[in-house]
Structure 1
Amino acid sequence: MKRMRWFFLSNLALILLLVVAYHFIGADIHQSALGFFEVLVAVLFISLFSAYFAFLFSRYKAKQSLESKMLNTPRNDVEGWLLATVAKQARQAGIPRPQVGIYDSADMNAYASGVSHSMISVSKGLLFFMPRAEAEAVLGHEICHLANMDMPKLIAYQGVLNVGVFYLSVLSSDVVFALFLISSGEILGLMAMLFAVLLFSVLTAALLMRFSRQLEFCADEGGAGLSQRRAMIAALERLSGERYAPLPEKMAVFGIKGSLASGVKRIFMSHPSLDERISLLRRHV
């Protein structure tokens, strides 16, 4: 979840900056339709750019934290199988072969990342402790994240949500002052908008995580298609029964397992539970 935390905090910082700039510049989006459209385009552009920047930054932090070693030429049979499997599945999915890396962890996990330059990194635990048929299904899951362009989808979705947060924050603070007939001073108005930003950002974070969970279901289905459905189910069952160790808070998004959660916290998780994913795959057998 650490990567998604960086992603969320980076976007929150930008929206706060936009609201502060809007407040002190004194722009009035209610003056005309043209003025509203201009501000909308500007906010959308900056929001998409910030979401993309936050994604790149979180990707760098995750890669740096996990210290993945990129493979160019295989040094043994295991690495040879890994490169060959990723290349085969990438051809089947119709995408260029991503970079392949291995990070040092006994935990069985893998993650995909990238927009223009994609990469897949797997743990040593997955390579050495998981049967190859199941490991192939896990790799197929990650390949499908790349083939479905899930990373650009999340970036675009976050950018659109940023626009909503900005306008809802500005408009809601104006409505509150109007309803209670309060004269909004400069400081009071700014504090009201910043509070609204924090409130709506939490709500949009829940929407973003729900969208991320739907992408996981799609990647499971795609991974089953690139390998074998039974192998995909078996891999998730193996992960469900494993002593849980989710990418030690380094990078949960687009990893195969995600993180454990219950109650309200589950709303803000990037992955659905493994039981849910297994049940859905079995339903489609």
Structure 2
Amino acid sequence: MIFQSTEIVMSMNGAREVDEQTAPDLYHVVEDMAMVAQIPMPRVFIIEDSSLNAFATGSNPQNAAVATTSGLLAIMNREELEAVMGHEVSHIRNYDIRISTIAVALASAITLLSSMAGRMMWWGGAGRRRSDNDRDGNGLEIIMLVISLLAIVLAPLAATLVQLAISRQREFLADASSVELTRNPQGMINALRKLDNSEPMHHHVDDASSALYINDPKKGGGLQKLFYTHPPISERIERLKQM
């Protein structure tokens, strides 16, 4: 099942698997990073896209895979590629995919519970409306109605924001962990700068996959920033400079 899920993610993102013969430079960089991180060698994939991006997937180090765009391979030098692959290998070593799955499950549970609580309060108020005619009873019903509406609307939003905050913190950690593996903070900084200047990805990226990428494929302004799965690259660079 885990193997199939990796296949599905890679297929959804148009990735093809490569090996030491078909992509030796990339394969050896991933191999080096996995060795330093002391995890099994992940499977390696390439996405034919001129944008600069990469991601890792897999619930544990024994069933993991990394993917990078062809554009990233064409633009980044060896040190920058090591930094990016170090970032992705760190996601695997830190069990970030599993943590993200747990965060999504908790957010979904909170949404379900808030919806159930809101409905119970709503129907509870409706039941009292049939039996109570006094003014105090009507006032209580209005309060219960407002609370139920707030629970239905705000609790899922709060749960989603917490989930996204966890995702952003794991990106900071993966950046720092990459520097730990490569011993080269400038390589990570240079890679992030190139990622920041990258064109958008040309193929469609669904919401589930967008959270996996090192550079958020879905960018926007205004209120959309609240729902970013990644912190701003400028902030990531500043944190690396402080290391």
Indicate the SS of the match to 1:122. Answer: strand
Aligned residue number for residue 129 of structure 1: 75
Encode CA deviations 1:37-73: one digit per residue, 9 max, x unaligned: xxxxxxxxxxxxxxx99xx76x655422332111233
2:50 touches 2:201 (CA, 8 Å); kept in 1?
A: no
Aligned residue number for residue 73 of structure 1: 20
2:57 touches 2:66 (CA, 8 Å); kept in 1?
A: yes
| Counterpart amino acid of residue 96 in structure 1 | P
Distance 1:240 1:72, change over 3 A: closer
Match of 2:219 among 260, 276, 279: 260
Match of 2:169 among 202, 214, 239: 214
Aligned residue number for residue 28 of structure 2: 84
Give the number of equivalent residue pairs: 218
1:48-127 to 2 correspondences below 5 Å: 62-75=9-22, 79-116=23-60, 117-127=63-73
Hey, what's the Cα distance between the residues in 2 that align with 1:241 and 1:135? Answer: 16
Aligned residue number for residue 241 of structure 1: 197
Structure 1 position 102, deviation (Å): 0.9
Encode CA deviations 1:79-128: one digit per residue, 9 max, x unaligned: 21211111121121121111001111111111111114211011111111
2:118 touches 2:152 (CA, 8 Å); kept in 1?
A: no
1:162-181 to 2 correspondences below 5 Å: 162-178=108-124, 181=128
Hey, what's the Cα distance between the residues in 1 that align with 2:46 and 2:102? Answer: 29
> Gaps (5+ residues) in structure 1?
1-51, 184-192
Aligned residue number for residue 144 of structure 1: 90
2:33 touches 2:89 (CA, 8 Å); kept in 1?
A: yes
Structure 1 position 264, deviation (Å): 1.3
Hey, what's the Cα distance between the residues in 1 that align with 2:111 and 2:67? Answer: 34
Structure 1 position 196, deviation (Å): 6.0
Distance 1:205 1:64, change over 3 A: same
Hey, what's the Cα distance between the residues in 2 that align with 1:196 and 1:213? Answer: 25
Indicate the SS of the match to 2:220. Answer: coil
Hey, what's the Cα distance between the residues in 2 that align with 1:97 and 1:158? Answer: 27
Hey, what's the Cα distance between the residues in 2 that align with 1:272 and 1:178? Answer: 42
Larger Cα Rg: Structure 1 or Structure 2?
Answer: 2
| Counterpart amino acid of residue 158 in structure 1 | V
2:56 touches 2:92 (CA, 8 Å); kept in 1?
A: yes
| Counterpart amino acid of residue 212 in structure 2 | F
Aligned residue number for residue 223 of structure 1: 178
Hey, what's the Cα distance between the residues in 2 that align with 1:123 and 1:239? Answer: 12
> Gaps (5+ residues) in structure 2?
131-147
**What RMSD over aligned residues (CA atoms) do the two structures have, in Å?**
2.8
Encode CA deviations 1:254-277: one digit per residue, 9 max, x unaligned: 211113232211111111111111
Aligned residue number for residue 232 of structure 1: 188
